[in-house]
Amino acid sequence: MNEFNNPFSANNFGPNGIFFAILISIASTFVLSFFYEHRLVRRKFITDDADPTVAQNLSAVEPAVLTLLFFVLIRILLTLIGVTDINQIFINLFVDLFNKFNSGFISGIMFNLIVHILWFFGIHGSNVLEPVAQNIFAANLVENMDAVAQGLQPQFILTKPFFDIFVFQGGAEPRSVFLPPFFSARRAMSPI
């Protein structure tokens, strides 16, 4: 089925589409403001209502329609050049960014850093980077399971369950398991 005829893919309504939805909402606000400030026709609406917001709302109809037409035109142009799912392009950019680093440690640190930077700006970082977690860190888990099935040692520490349990878990409960051995080792090494 042609993507242009069916623009509502269920994949884009979950965590995979949240980052692009935020970008579109910010862009549409700027486009609407631009069209409102640069209206082609400035009309004075005379209403029987004493409330001035009625006239303001009526004068915002033209910029709202132009904003809608602007994004429809972008969608048509993207479809004509062969882009059927712009959300998948952003997902591929994120995945390619993390694939450039062969070291799992650098990818893990960068993944954690970007998640927390997004959280700082009020964006659910784990949801935005969920495609990266599925494509890279869940794939690491599958490779570890294959290695164990063949009798080999697992190669990857940074897997999706590792991040879910030890990095993004709220509170200190998972980390507290490691604290008693750490403190007992320090006491054993201290001079008497």
Q: Report pLDDT for 74.
A: 92
Give the highest mean pLDDT range of 85-99, 110-124, 146-160.
146-160
Residue 4 has pLDDT above 70, yes or no: no
Q: Report pLDDT for 67.
A: 94
Helices 86-99, 18-37: axis angle to 10 degrees equals: 120
Task: Please write the tens of the pLDDT for every residue from 94-128.
Answer: 888 888 876 678 888 888 888 888 877 777 778 77
Q: Report pLDDT for 131.
A: 81
Structural domain boundaries in the chain: 10-84, 96-189
Please report, as a single letter, which amino acid is at residue 168: F
Percent of the chain as helix, strand, coil, to the nearest 5: 70, 0, 30
Mean pLDDT of the chain: 77
pTM of the model: 0.60
Q: Report pLDDT for 149.
A: 92
Q: Report pLDDT for 49.
A: 62
pLDDT band of residue 155 (cuts 50, 70, 90) is confident
Q: Quickly list H helices, 121-178.
A: 125-128, 130-132, 138-149, 160-162, 173-176
List the structure tokens of 70: 């602007």
H or E stretch at 160: helix 160-162
Q: Report pLDDT for 32.
A: 92
Give 17's DSSP letter.
Answer: G
